[in-house]
């Protein structure tokens, strides 16, 4: 990989550092198995074939928003695939019908105090699937008001980036969910979908792992720990044994 591509590679490594280590190999393991009422996805789901064109939770308009948004968060460039080719929208869609998506892994009874610091835990009465539904609707309505009637997915890339930046810093007022909260979920789930093990529906072809040189779930690569700067010569391996 040339030096011209190193900024993106470094950026993705920094994104990976913000994802809990368990999420990199286990992906949605917690959300899929929490409360004991959901099984791991099948191989067909892992390949994204089941709902690449027909999402199970998101409506057609929501799906267009989601595809456009994750494409701006991790765009494809000369150094590698972006979120779309890595199956991030499919990953997020699959998470909406898990205990995580339904908010079953959190205490979801009041009182709620949204202005409390993060260490006080989740402080909304909305499950992730509801945050996405309200957030996408509010964002599209905002875009239609300020960009000639166009929803987010129809905006120019620069305008999409501007809207995402405004949401990130809470500069857009949404009625049902704070825009910064919606953006935080979107960004976090996008990172998970790009870097989690492919068995959970994202990271197709182990694109995220290949971009940063992550070996995946290989049983042993201890010989390389004491070789700083040496290029790891083997491709990544998924939990289910698939090799990238």
Residues 71-98 have pLDDT tens digits of: 999 999 888 899 999 999 999 999 999 9
Better-predicted residue by pLDDT, 48 or 94: 94
Cite the DSSP H helix spans in the chain: 6-17, 21-26, 29-33, 43-46, 60-73, 88-95, 128-146, 157-168, 179-195, 207-212
The yes-or-no verdict on residue 20 having pLDDT over 70 is no
The confidence score (pLDDT) of residue 16 equals 53
Q: Give me the residue spans of the domains in the chain.
A: 3-37+55-109+117-215
The confidence score (pLDDT) of residue 107 equals 80
Q: Is 137 helix (H, G, I), strand (E, B) or coil?
A: helix
In whole numbers, what is the pLDDT of the chain averaged over residues? Answer: 81
Pick from 18-32, 108-122, 150-164: least confident = 18-32
The confidence score (pLDDT) of residue 231 equals 79
Q: What percent of the chain has pLDDT over 90?
A: 52
The confidence score (pLDDT) of residue 214 equals 85
What's the rounded Cα separation, in Å, for the pair 203 and 208?
A: 6
The yes-or-no verdict on residue 183 having pLDDT over 90 is yes
């Amino acid at each position: 990989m040339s030096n011209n591509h190193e900024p993106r590679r470094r950026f993705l490594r920094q994104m990976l550092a913000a994802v809990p280590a368990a999420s990199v190999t286990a992906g949605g393991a917690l959300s899929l198995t929490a409360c004991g009422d959901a099984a791991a996805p099948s191989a067909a789901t892992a390949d994204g074939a089941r709902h690449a064109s027909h999402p199970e939770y998101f409506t057609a308009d929501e799906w267009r928003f989601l595809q456009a948004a994750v494409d701006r968060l991790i765009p494809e460039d000369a150094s590698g695939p972006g979120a779309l080719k890595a199956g991030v929208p499919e990953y997020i869609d699959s998470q909406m019908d898990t205990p995580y998506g339904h908010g079953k892994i959190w205490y979801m009874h009041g009182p709620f105090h949204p202005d409390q610091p993060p260490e006080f835990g989740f402080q909304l009465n909305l499950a992730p699937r509801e945050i996405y539904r309200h957030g996408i609707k509010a964002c599209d309505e905002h875009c239609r008001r300020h960009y000639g009637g166009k929803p987010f997915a129809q905006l120019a890339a620069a305008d999409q980036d501007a809207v995402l930046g405004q949401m990130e810093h809470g500069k857009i007022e949404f009625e049902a969910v704070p825009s910064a909260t919606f953006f935080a979920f979107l960004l976090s789930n996008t990172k998970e979908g790009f870097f989690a093990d492919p068995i959970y529906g994202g990271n197709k072809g182990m694109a995220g792992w290949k971009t940063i040189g992550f070996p995946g779930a290989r049983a042993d690569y201890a010989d390389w720990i004491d070789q700083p700067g040496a290029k790891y010569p083997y491709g990544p391996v998924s939990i289910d044994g698939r090799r990238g």
